């Protein structure tokens, strides 16, 4: 959504009257292509300028499904000093953090080293992104927290990056994407989960990524809308893989967050998982309890893009089935499908649930309460 | 338990091909020779391993042979038991998995002839689905036209996962043929395994493939709607078979929201996704991915905002329910009648066509 605000002055004291919120999905961008160079070995500067950063799809730059707007971002979010949307801290503060009274903002950088075919380059870029998040964002703005971005296709190296950042209060989670070379429950990714658990950090799984697999189980679709709607299906398969490969059983303190892929699918998926598990549990003896138990104890969902039924009571019933303690409010700033915190919840939600939804659940999960 | 009423239509039963050799009488000399000379094995898909618990209810599993391979068993366990007027046969035999379009076509023709001869001829309550493979659209249409001369065939049967999303324009001539001939297009769970079985790659376990069917239906529904299949074919009915349906409401909320935001990309989609589903898409009743309490289930029906979407199915012999609980608890009498009789007849116009003997060409 685009909100044209620049021509109008902000109301005099919005912060004082708005309740504080957590925004669990903010996308910081680099102002220039070379902004990471100070944290990147010289070898990689030349590599990026000659060969680029090849991913598991054919495009040298940009995504294979063109976005709906430049950088998939709000047209009103270009910083006045130039650069792409989301690349200016001062403008993010003025346009989003201050007027919406964001008390906690979790940064999820995209377009990093994740999902690159050259794993050494991926590792270098992810490490640089993590340094950059601290230098440019979290050290300048205490309301913002960073995600440890890891080159997940190389499990041991990714685990080393997590260990390097463990204990650093700038970071509140490990960030993965949903679409990878293999489903996320596969063993190649287990070193990441082991390191995250040891560091006491949840693993956030954000929609997107390219792992070389068609983005539907029946091949490549035609349109961006199919990719966008399809994130919920990719996320369902990723979560099913995590449960059925036994990740939650093997790493009993590990929590996970499903980011930007909807949450409406959760009840139906869980009912299906439980039903099929009853029939086929002998195939997966490492899954010792019904899938619903792992998911209800260990999985959270960010809210954006908010489920939006015709009848608002349907939304409230849906959240009742998932649990009001499971949802983490997110806006997806500065992306085009941004959710406005003042508009997402219907009337009729108790004060306690409203507070949990907007702030309390996030503070609790991220250990900031 | 809600009791079934007599005269219903069971929209998803699975007669099993006992073995690839059962199709030999229906293959020509060349293909019979290919099958035998090359030592081809039985075409059993990983989607339904014969001995997997999902492939048969324990009390429906025969002492020998594949579940669903015996007509007398089907009569006793499903047709008589649920007092149906009709049952629609959806053979799940792995003919879609082969890569050669010629071989796939020969096997589909044999399978359809086998169904007509060994099942439809012997049991007047049975109706058939025309199994086609999508390796060749041209051959699929020829097979649809050939079988459609027999009014006992009431739909075209596709698998939910194959080579390309089903909304792709290359497949539209198939939908045109179905619409022209008064056939529904049934899309059944199962994969040709020409792509990884999930949208995030290959899992390790059979159970993952089972869970993934629901996600595959969701992406196919997106594809069919946004490519514009129902703009071109407004009277075409498509039936999601063994798809589950409790995912539908939140799926449609999400699709609707993105459709509103991204209409410029697919401007030909002239109606809201929910309206398209109401007019063109139906779902078989089983499996019911929901807790077994009537309150939640009735909330889910309310979220679906239509009582015309569901078609009665037992999914015989697959293991979806126990005893006679083919209908979930808490359905109103009106809804039972809609699901068992009215909705299937509205979906399959050929059920009303009188059937003469010896109709198969």
**CATH class of the domain at B8-352:** alpha beta
Instruction: Establish if B155 touches chain A: CB-CB under 8 angstroms.
Output: no
Residues of B in contact with A317 (CB under 8 A): 299, 303
Instruction: Establish if B295 touches chain A: CB-CB under 8 angstroms.
Output: no
Query: Which residues are CB-contacts of B333 (< 8 A; sequence separation ≥ 6)?
Result: none
Residue B86: φ, ψ to 5°: -140, 155
Work out the mean pLDDT of chain B and round it to a whole number: 96
User: Could you write out the DSSP letters of every residue in A11-35?
Assistant: PS-HHHHSPPEEEEEE----SSTTT
Residue A38 has pLDDT above 80, yes or no: yes
Model confidence over B148-159: pLDDT tens digits? 999 999 999 999
Closest B-chain CA to A310: B253
Cα separation, A84 vs A32, whole angstroms: 8
Decide if B253 and A308 are in contact by the 8 Å CB cutoff.
Answer: yes
Confidence check on the interface: ipTM exceeds 0.90, yes or no: yes
- Residue A149: closest CA among A181, A182, A124: A124
Decide if B218 and A232 are in contact by the 8 Å CB cutoff.
Answer: yes
pLDDT of residue B361: 47
Decide if B256 and A308 are in contact by the 8 Å CB cutoff.
Answer: yes
pTM equals 0.96
Residue A130 has pLDDT above 60, yes or no: yes
Average pLDDT over residues B224-245: 98
Residues of B in contact with A222 (CB under 8 A): 165, 167-168, 223, 226-227
Residues of A in contact with B220 (CB under 8 A): 216, 218
Walk me through the domains of chain A, giving residue ranges and CATH numbers: 20-365 (3.20.20.140)
Instruction: Establish if B217 touches chain A: CB-CB under 8 angstroms.
Output: no
Residues of B in contact with A309 (CB under 8 A): 249-250, 253, 303
Model confidence over B76-133: pLDDT tens digits? 999 999 999 999 999 999 999 999 999 999 999 999 999 999 999 999 999 999 999 9
Instruction: Establish if B273 touches chain A: CB-CB under 8 angstroms.
Output: no
Average pLDDT over residues B299-323: 96
Cα separation, B45 vs A158, whole angstroms: 37
Average pLDDT over residues B245-259: 97
Cα separation, A30 vs A37, whole angstroms: 11
Decide if A280 and B244 are in contact by the 8 Å CB cutoff.
Answer: no
Decide if B206 and A276 are in contact by the 8 Å CB cutoff.
Answer: no
Average pLDDT over residues A46-60: 95
What are the Cα distances from residue A171, in Å, to A149, A253, A260, B81?
10, 18, 19, 61
Average pLDDT over residues B262-274: 97
Decide if B261 and A68 are in contact by the 8 Å CB cutoff.
Answer: yes
Contact A154, A126 (CB under 8 A): no
Question: Hey, how many other C-beta atoms are within 10 angstroms of the C-beta on B234?
Answer: 12
Model confidence over B4-29: pLDDT tens digits? 999 999 999 999 999 999 999 999 99
DSSP state, residue B314 = -
Contact A333, A26 (CB under 8 A): yes
| Percent of chain B predicted with pLDDT > 70 | 99
Average pLDDT over residues A132-136: 98
- Residue A173: closest CA among A137, A206, A219: A206
Model confidence over A12-34: pLDDT tens digits? 444 445 899 999 999 999 999 99
Residues of A in contact with B56 (CB under 8 A): none
H-type helices in B123-205, by residue range? 137-148, 172-180
Tokens, residue B277: 């589903």
Residue B127: φ, ψ to 5°: -125, 160
pLDDT of residue B357: 62
* Rounded-to-10 torsion of CA B70, B71, B77, B82: 160
pLDDT of residue A14: 47
Model confidence over A153-183: pLDDT tens digits? 999 999 999 999 999 999 999 999 999 999 9
Contact B101, B139 (CB under 8 A): yes
Work out the mean pLDDT of chain A and round it to a whole number: 95
How many contacts, defined by CB atoms under 8 Å, are there between A and B?
230
Closest B-chain CA to A279: B53
- Residue A24: closest CA among A258, A209, A313: A258
Instruction: Establish if B58 touches chain A: CB-CB under 8 angstroms.
Output: no
Residues of B in contact with A186 (CB under 8 A): 203-204
Instruction: Establish if B256 touches chain A: CB-CB under 8 angstroms.
Output: yes
Contact B312, B340 (CB under 8 A): yes
Decide if B247 and A269 are in contact by the 8 Å CB cutoff.
Answer: yes
Tokens, residue B8: 């219903």
For residue A316, count CB atoms less than 10 angstroms from its CB and return exposed for 0-12, middle for 13-18, buried for 19 or more: middle
């Amino acid at each position: 959504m685009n909100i044209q605000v620049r021509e109008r002055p902000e109301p005099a004291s919005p912060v004082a009257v708005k309740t504080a919120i957590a925004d669990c999905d903010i996308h910081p961008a680099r102002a220039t292509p070379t902004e990471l160079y100070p944290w990147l070995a010289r070898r990689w500067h030349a590599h990026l300028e000659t060969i680029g950063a090849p991913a598991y799809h054919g495009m040298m730059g940009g995504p294979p499904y063109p976005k709906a707007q430049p950088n998939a971002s709000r047209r009103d979010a270009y910083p006045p000093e130039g650069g792409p949307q989301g690349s200016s801290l001062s403008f993010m503060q003025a346009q989003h953090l201050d007027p919406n009274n964001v008390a906690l903002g979790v940064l999820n950088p995209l377009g990093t080293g994740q999902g690159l075919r050259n794993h050494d380059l991926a590792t270098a870029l992810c490490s640089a992104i993590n340094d950059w998040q601290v230098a440019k964002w979290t050290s300048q703005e205490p309301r913002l927290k960073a995600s440890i971005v890891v080159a997940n296709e190389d499990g041991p190296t990714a685990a080393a990056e997590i260990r390097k950042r463990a204990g650093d209060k700038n970071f509140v989670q490990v960030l993965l994407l949903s679409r990878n070379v293999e489903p996320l429950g596969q063993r190649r990714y287990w070193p990441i989960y082991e390191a995250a658990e040891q560091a006491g950090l949840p693993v956030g799984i954000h929609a997107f990524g390219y792992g070389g697999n068609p983005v539907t189980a029946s091949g490549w679709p035609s349109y961006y809308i199919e990719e966008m709607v399809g994130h919920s299906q990719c996320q369902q398969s990723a979560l099913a893989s995590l449960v059925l490969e036994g990740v939650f059983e093997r790493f009993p303190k590990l929590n996970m967050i499903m980011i930007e892929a909807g949450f409406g699918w959760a009840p139906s998926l869980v009912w299906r998982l439980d039903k099929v598990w009853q029939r086929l549990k002998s195939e997966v003896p490492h899954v010792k309890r019904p899938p619903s138990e792992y998911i209800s104890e260990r999985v959270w969902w960010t809210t954006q893009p908010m489920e939006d039924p015709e009848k608002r009571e349907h939304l409230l019933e849906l959240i009742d089935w998932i649990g009001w303690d499971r949802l983490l409010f997110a806006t997806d700033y500065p992306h085009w499908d941004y959710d406005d915190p003042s508009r997402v919840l219907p009337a009729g939600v108790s004060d306690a649930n409203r507070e949990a939804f907007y702030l309390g659940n996030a503070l609790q999960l991220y250990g900031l309460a | 338990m809600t009791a079934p009423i007599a005269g219903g239509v069971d929209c998803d039963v699975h007669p099993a091909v006992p073995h690839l050799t059962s199709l030999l009488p229906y293959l020509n000399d060349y293909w019979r020779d290919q099958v035998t000379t090359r030592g081809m094995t039985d075409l059993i898909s990983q989607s339904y391993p014969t001995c997997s618990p999902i492939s048969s209810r324990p009390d429906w599993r025969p002492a020998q042979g594949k579940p669903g391979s015996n007509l007398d068993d089907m009569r006793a366990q499903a047709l008589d038991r649920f007092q149906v007027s009709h049952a629609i046969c959806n053979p799940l035999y792995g003919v879609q998995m082969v890569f050669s379009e010629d071989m796939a076509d020969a096997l589909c023709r044999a399978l359809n002839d086998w169904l007509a001869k060994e099942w439809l001829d012997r049991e007047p309550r049975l109706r058939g689905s025309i199994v086609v493979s999508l390796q060749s659209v041209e051959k699929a249409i020829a097979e649809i036209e050939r079988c459609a001369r027999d009014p006992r065939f009431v739909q075209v049967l596709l698998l939910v996962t194959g080579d390309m999303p089903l909304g792709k324009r290359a497949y539209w001539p198939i939908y045109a043929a179905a619409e022209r001939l008064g056939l529904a297009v049934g899309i059944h769970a199962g994969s040709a395994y020409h792509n990884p079985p999930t949208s995030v790659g290959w899992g390790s376990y059979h159970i993952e493939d089972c869970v993934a069917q629901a996600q595959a239906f969701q992406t196919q529904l997106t594809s069919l709607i946004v490519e514009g299949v129902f703009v071109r074919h407004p009277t075409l009915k498509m039936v999601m078979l063994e798809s589950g349906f409790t995912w539908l409401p939140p799926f449609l909320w999400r699709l609707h929201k993105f459709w509103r935001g991204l209409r410029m990309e697919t401007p030909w989609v002239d109606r809201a996704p929910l309206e398209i589903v109401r007019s063109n898409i139906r779902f078989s009743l089983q499996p019911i991915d929901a807790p077994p309490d009537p309150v939640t289930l009735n909330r889910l029906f309310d979220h679906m905002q239509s009582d015309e979407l569901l078609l009665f199915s037992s999914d015989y012999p697959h293991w979806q329910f126990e005893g006679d609980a083919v209908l979930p608890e808490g359905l109103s009498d009106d809804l039972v009648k809609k699901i068992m009789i009215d909705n299937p007849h509205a979906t399959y116009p050929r059920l009303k066509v009188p059937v003469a003997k010896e109709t198969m060409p």
